Amino acid sequence: MKDKFTLGIAQIDPRLGNVQANLALYEEAVREAVGRGVDLLVFPELSLTGYFLKDMVSTVALTVGAPAVGRLRELSRDVALVAGLVEETPEYRFYNSAILFDAGEIRHVHRKVYPPTYGLFDELRYLARGARIEAFDSRFGRAAMLLCEDMWHGSTAYIAAMDGALTLLVPSASPIQGLARGDVPENAAYWQRLNAVTAESYGMFVVHANRVGFEDGIGFWGGSEVVGPSGDVVARAAYYESDMIVAEISLAAARRKRIAAPMLRDENLDLTINELTRIRGRELAGVVRTLRRQTMAALAESPAGESSRKRPAKKASVRKRPGAAERATRAPTSKTSSDARTPKTSGVARTSKTSGVARRAKARSAPKGATNPRTSTGRAARPVPRRAATKAAGPVRRRVTPKAGVPGAKAAKGAKRRQTRKPAVKARVARRR
């Protein structure tokens, strides 16, 4: 990495949609830069293709393997350069890109993250949006690139500075806007204040490479400049005409500024991230609430919504339990128990569940067609399972097996085994005795 290097800005007047003519301007500027000892040469935004391209974007777009890009690789063997062009990706997306060429190779690509769509600008209609701002290492120290409108968003330069950039390269195609303030239009004065504040706030060099000329009746004001870490103008190009400026860059100046004003050292990055996350969550919640209100309004205005409002709400049905008189007059059903079907005989009390089972077993043994002695309907008694009849023969003996470890558990287990033997086995054992 060099602590000192010579930087140049080629403020040119490119032709709209004419890549070959603009490539010739590149070659001429490179020859001049080599003669003036420039190490790094910066060209304006979209200077290889023209700016107000509109429907010509796909026609002039260049892939990394295009012949014009190959020529830029060759030129970078004489001097490192930053070119502005429309980049076409393998997915057929088109970006407003700035590409650093050095020693015949592509060292870094920055895709514009804020293509403007206000006023006379209409980039986002034809170009995709970039998704990254990243500082990179080079033989000129750690640097970062932004493209024109990117610089007008305060977060971009902050990200570049927090990523360690010492030099901020800003290719631009800034048109003439607003009333003149002295020798420059209103937006030119704003650019100069912005460059100075950014450079001094973050202790870095700001390189603003603007263009000149006219496209579709719109003029560009030029005035490219290099601003030092203390906010002072190191070099500035002429207004409204082609020019080339050369400046000596010493990274020691950035070191001195950051020692005197260690703002980046004291920056609380976690605080920034946490607060931005909070703000983003609040905005997302607002979006959700807005969508919910819009959905409810749309449903209310729809015919289905109107009919649902007119239709009276159904009352919840409540099933009343029948009273005592109603239960007395209700006819018996098949699901009623046997005790409910059969009236009790006066003077006879049921002492256990087995009495009902015994009666059903007795009714089963009666001849077919006999009437139930407990009823006068003449209805045949329900068949009783064999198991129930067995239970009716006498009380059921419950076997209790003590748990292991309890006294008498082994004897109880043997008694259980003997009880479960078959009668034939018991008879054989008796004969042997």
Residues 73 and 220 occupy one common structural domain: yes
Give residue-wise pLDDT tens across range 162-185.
999 999 999 999 999 887 777 788
Residues 263 and 388 occupy one common structural domain: no
Predicted confidence (pLDDT) at residue 387 exceeds the cutoff of 60? no
Q: Give a yes or no: residue 25 inside a domain.
A: yes
- What local confidence, expressed as pLDDT, does residue 347 receive? 46
Residues 243 and 100 occupy one common structural domain: yes
Q: Give a yes or no: residue 275 inside a domain.
A: no
Closest CA to 357 of 380, 335, 338: 338
The domain boundary residue, chosen from 270, 300, 324: 270
Q: Give a yes or no: residue 295 inside a domain.
A: no
The tally of domains found in the chain comes to: 2
Residues 73 and 196 occupy one common structural domain: yes
The domain boundary residue, chosen from 270, 295, 329: 270
Predicted confidence (pLDDT) at residue 312 exceeds the cutoff of 90? no
Global pTM value: 0.68
Q: What CATH number does residue 228 fall under?
A: 3.60.110.10
CA angle 49, 42, 12 (to 5 degrees): 50
Residues 248 and 371 occupy one common structural domain: no
Q: Give a yes or no: residue 427 inside a domain.
A: no
Taking the C-alpha atoms of residue 81 and residue 65, their distance in angstroms, rounded to an integer, is 18
- What local confidence, expressed as pLDDT, does residue 88 receive? 97
Residues 245 and 388 occupy one common structural domain: no
> Which residues make Cβ contacts (< 8 Å) with residue 306, sequence separation at least 6?
300
> Which residues make Cβ contacts (< 8 Å) with residue 380, sequence separation at least 6?
368, 369, 370, 372
Residues 266 and 362 occupy one common structural domain: no
Residues 257 and 142 occupy one common structural domain: yes
Query: Tokens 């109880």 belong to which residue?
Result: 412
Give residue-wise pLDDT tens across range 176-213.
988 777 778 899 999 999 999 999 999 999 999 999 99
Q: Give a yes or no: residue 414 inside a domain.
A: no
Residues 66 and 187 occupy one common structural domain: yes
User: Region 383-409: what's the mean pLDDT?
Assistant: 54
Residues 226 and 84 occupy one common structural domain: yes
Predicted confidence (pLDDT) at residue 256 exceeds the cutoff of 80? yes
- What local confidence, expressed as pLDDT, does residue 368 receive? 55
Q: Domain range holding 247?
A: 4-270
What pLDDT band is residue 408 in, cutting at 50, 70 and 90?
A: low
User: Region 347-370: what's the mean pLDDT?
Assistant: 56
- What local confidence, expressed as pLDDT, does residue 237 receive? 97
Q: Give a yes or no: residue 329 inside a domain.
A: no
User: Are the C-beta atoms of residues 210 and 222 closer than 8 Å to each other?
Assistant: yes
Q: Give a yes or no: residue 340 inside a domain.
A: no
The domain boundary residue, chosen from 214, 239, 270: 270
- What local confidence, expressed as pLDDT, does residue 379 receive? 53
Which of 102-111, 230-239, 281-290, 397-406 shows the lowest per-residue confidence on average (mean pLDDT)?
A: 397-406
Q: Give a yes or no: residue 61 inside a domain.
A: yes
